[in-house]
């Protein structure tokens, strides 16, 4: 028997296979090919053997390994005899298909290439798709937990089954969430709703997905279905968690309010103001108004933008119409609202939006920009433009607030919002002492409001920044502290895109890129205008050498928030993708753009130096890292292993070797080293 097999065997078409195995939600139902004879019933351990082999396509399992997996309590000889007996049972059950499917000798057992189709393997293939059509197969393929009903009382096999079930659930959840977002953005609301239902079949306690489904049902005019789903959701959460599903309730009310506004009905009054002890009440209030209240297009833009901005978790957001409905007069709005933001729509060939914001007190214009939709946004111009506006307004207003804080002469002690802005102003610092000062500001804010999600998420990011910027000798410890802080932020505010983004950062460093990607997609579900989550997706795809995906997400982030202080790093992720794809010339070109914008950032300099070294330009590679020498201690290898988990593991080893070569080249007296540099 040939035990050699390709690492990525070709996918088997269902019609070409001798057997079709259904392992999702079943104890391995086996069907013959369409023209063959039906097969008999397999025993539990026969099904276990077939499932184990199926999930290792192209690989053989030794008989000893199967005995250890399924007969661990037996003596070795007895276990081998039990395996032989089970193989005879399998042959009786499978009939003629056995010899067409099973390749066995005295040492090992395997499935013949192309002979078996398995739904679990199809999930892996479908989840790898980037388009909604390919991802939509997941809902049909995932009919329940992997081998859910199969009872085999062997710990090693149960552990293996649990690992596979968790992996397949994660792949399906990730893929279905991507499908939901893609279909909703394209206006395919019915299929988006089906994806949401499939997500809830796997994990019914996903409050955000319940909220998304309710909003989709209302948007499609299915109000009774939306109300019924809300009541079912409330009953489930009361029974399982002992609490109300706040996100689902808010989604229902917001969707109804948006529907009323679209039909010309007066909006419902906003929820009562929160108590003064809540940190939310300490934030500035931004009110949105339409440039032309009689224009349906401007009103639709106002509705979508206000709803999207309400999830940004930084400022309080209302529409002026909501404030009027709550009884506030124009004079009161002028006196109590910190920012009044005017939105309008220009109906030219590619519809654009304009927006401006003035701060109460001095009336100074904070920003005035146009926002154009991105490719693929034509199906819903109002939502697309709202996404662009929210992506630009949020960082612009925060930049204005940080500038105001810097201009003040008194320390921010005791003022929650000022402490938050003081910390935000130091977030991009490349100095460990400044980052510690920023942490001190956030700790002061948390003393005032211990459960504030925004302060917790920012503090999590600062801890992680010390790790990935090389400002601590133990980056993994910094990532761990940051991840735990981000978990607190998510618990405090389950619908915060900022909190999920922060948790995704920590998860990507400690748990893997797949978990990190799922959390960033959740952040974008909560706030489709959240550019940092798009940029983080670019980084994660870059590590997989998926240049097209990395460029797509990085370009969207830069288009939404071009003035964000982190934009140079987002450009550097495109360089990382080119480097991972073994295109050092392209990586160098992109990395140099990022270095020019942010010369103090370590990461773009690392990519530039590695690319130069691969191009044989060692003098330039050493010079590129010279300004950062003090931040590249001996544990630099640990830093790179923690922050650059390439999908192609050899790429990281090559990178580490490259940096050793650069370090050796840079030593005094090294051959070819420039006489004077840096």
CATH class for the region spanning 411-528: mainly alpha
CATH class for the region spanning 14-120: mainly alpha
Round the average pLDDT of the chain to a whole number and report it: 80
Nearest to 160 by CA among 75, 62, 296, 53: 53
pLDDT of residue 303: 84
Alpha carbons 166 and 145: distance in angstroms, whole number: 9
Q: Which residues does residue 21 pair with via DSSP β-bridges, in sequence order?
A: 30, 118
Kindly give the residue spans of alpha helices, DSSP state H, lying in 469-601.
475-492, 497-510, 513-526, 531-543, 547-560, 567-580, 584-597
**What tokens appear for 512 in the block?**
């893997």
**What tokens appear for 477 in the block?**
């410890």
Confidence of residue 39 (pLDDT cuts 50, 70, 90): low
pLDDT of residue 571: 92
pLDDT of residue 365: 42
pLDDT of residue 385: 77
| pLDDT at residue 4 greater than cutoff 50 | no
CB atoms within 10 A of CB 474: 14
DSSP state string for 50-97: HHHHHTSTT--EEHHHHHHHH-TTS-HHHHHHHHHHHHHHHHHHHTTH
Q: Which residues does residue 358 pair with via DSSP β-bridges, in sequence order?
A: 340, 365
| pLDDT at residue 502 greater than cutoff 90 | yes
| pLDDT at residue 1 greater than cutoff 90 | no
Question: Quick one: 644 exposed, middle or buried, by C-beta within 10 A (0-12, 13-18, 19+)?
Answer: buried
Q: What are 92-131's pLDDT values in tens digits?
A: 888 888 888 889 888 899 988 888 888 999 999 998 887 7
pLDDT of residue 38: 56
**What tokens appear for 149 in the block?**
């009903």
| pLDDT at residue 379 greater than cutoff 70 | no
pLDDT of residue 636: 60
CB 83 within 8 A of CB 67: yes
Domain 130-262 homologous superfamily, CATH: Tetratricopeptide repeat domain (1.25.40.10)
pLDDT of residue 208: 78
Pairing of strands 339-346, 116-118: unpaired
pLDDT, average across residues 287-292: 84
Alpha carbons 339 and 342: distance in angstroms, whole number: 10
Q: In which element (H, E) is residue 380 found?
A: none
pLDDT of residue 306: 84
Confidence of residue 588 (pLDDT cuts 50, 70, 90): very high
**pTM for the complete prediction?**
0.62
Confidence of residue 383 (pLDDT cuts 50, 70, 90): confident
For the ranges 225-234, 347-356, 410-419, the lowest mean pLDDT is seen at 347-356
> CATH number of 279-407: 2.40.50, 3.10.20, 1.10.357, 3.40.50?
3.40.50
pLDDT of residue 33: 61
pLDDT of residue 409: 84
CB 574 within 8 A of CB 586: no
Q: What are 177-212's pLDDT values in tens digits?
A: 888 877 876 778 888 899 999 999 988 888 878 888
């Amino acid at each position: 028997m040939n035990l050699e097999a390709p690492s990525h065997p070709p996918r088997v078409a269902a019609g070409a296979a001798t057997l079709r195995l259904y392992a999702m939600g079943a104890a391995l139902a086996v069907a013959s090919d369409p023209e063959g004879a039906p097969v008999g019933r397999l025993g539990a351990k026969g099904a276990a053997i077939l499932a184990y082999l199926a999930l290792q396509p192209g690989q053989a399992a030794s008989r000893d390994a199967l005995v250890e997996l399924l007969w661990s309590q037996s003596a070795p000889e007895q276990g081998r005899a039990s395996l032989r007996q089970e193989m005879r049972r399998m042959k009786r059950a499978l009939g003629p298909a056995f010899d067409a499917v099973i390749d066995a000798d005295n040492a090992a057992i395997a499935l013949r290439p192309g002979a078996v189709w398995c739904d679990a393997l199809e999930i892996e293939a479908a989840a790898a798709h980037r388009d909604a059509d390919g991802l939509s197969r997941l809902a049909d393929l995932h009919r329940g937990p992997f081998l859910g009903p199969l009872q085999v009382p062997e710990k090693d096999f149960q552990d293996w089954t649990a690992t596979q079930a968790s992996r397949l659930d994660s792949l399906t959840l990730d893929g279905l969430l991507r499908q939901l977002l893609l279909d909703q953005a394209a206006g395919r609301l019915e299929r988006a709703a089906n994806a949401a239902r499939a997500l809830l079949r796997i994990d019914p306690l996903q409050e955000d997905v319940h909220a998304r489904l309710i909003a989709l049902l209302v948007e499609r005019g299915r109000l009774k279905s939306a109300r019924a789903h809300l009541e079912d959701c409330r009953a489930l959460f009361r029974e399982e968690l002992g609490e109300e599903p706040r996100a689902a309730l808010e989604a229902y009310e917001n969707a109804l309010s948006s529907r009323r506004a679209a039909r010309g009905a007066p909006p419902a009054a906003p929820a009562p103001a929160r108590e003064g002890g809540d940190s939310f009440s300490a934030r500035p209030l931004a009110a949105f108004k339409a440039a032309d209240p009689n224009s349906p297009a401007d009103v639709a833009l106002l509705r979508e933008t206000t709803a999207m901005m309400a999830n940004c978790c930084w400022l309080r957001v209302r529409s002026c119409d909501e404030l009027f409905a709550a009884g506030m007069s124009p004079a009161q709005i002028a006196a109590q609202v910190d920012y009044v933001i005017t939105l309008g729509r220009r109906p030219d060939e590619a519809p654009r939006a304009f927006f401006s914001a003035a701060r109460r007190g001095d009336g100074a214009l904070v920003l005035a920009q146009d926002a154009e939709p991105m490719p693929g946004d034509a199906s819903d111009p109002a939502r697309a433009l709202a996404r662009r506006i929210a992506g630009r307004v949020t960082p612009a207003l925060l930049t204005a607030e940080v500038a105001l804080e810097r201009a003040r002469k008194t320390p921010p002690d005791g003022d929650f919002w000022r402490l938050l802005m003081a910390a935000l102003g130091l977030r991009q610092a490349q100095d460990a002492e400044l980052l510690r000062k920023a942490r001190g500001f956030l700790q002061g804010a948390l003393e005032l409001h211990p459960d504030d999600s925004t302060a917790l998420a920012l503090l999590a990011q600062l801890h992680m920044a010390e790790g990935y910027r090389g400002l601590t000798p133990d980056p993994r410890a910094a990532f761990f502290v940051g991840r735990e802080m981000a978990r607190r932020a998510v618990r405090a505010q389950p619908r915060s895109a900022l909190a999920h983004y922060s948790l995704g950062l920590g998860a990507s460093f400690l748990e893997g890129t797949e978990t990190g990607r799922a959390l960033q997609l959740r952040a974008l579900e909560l706030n489709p205008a959240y550019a940092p989550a798009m940029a983080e997706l670019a980084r994660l795809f870059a590590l997989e050498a998926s240049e097209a995906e990395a460029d797509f997400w990085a370009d969207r982030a830069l288009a939404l928030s071009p003035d964000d202080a982190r934009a140079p790093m987002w450009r550097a992720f495109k360089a990382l993708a080119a480097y991972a794809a073994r295109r050092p010339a392209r990586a160098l070109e992109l990395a140099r753009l990022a270095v020019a914008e942010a010369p103090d950032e370590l990461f773009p300099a690392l990519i530039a130096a590695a690319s130069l070294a691969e191009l044989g330009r060692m003098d330039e590679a050493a010079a590129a890292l010279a300004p950062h020498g003090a931040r590249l201690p001996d544990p630099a290898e640990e830093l790179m292993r923690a922050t650059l988990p390439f999908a192609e593991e050899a790429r990281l080893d090559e990178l580490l070797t490259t940096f050793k070569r650069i370090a050796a080249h840079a030593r005094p007296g090294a051959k070819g080293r420039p006489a004077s540099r840096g």
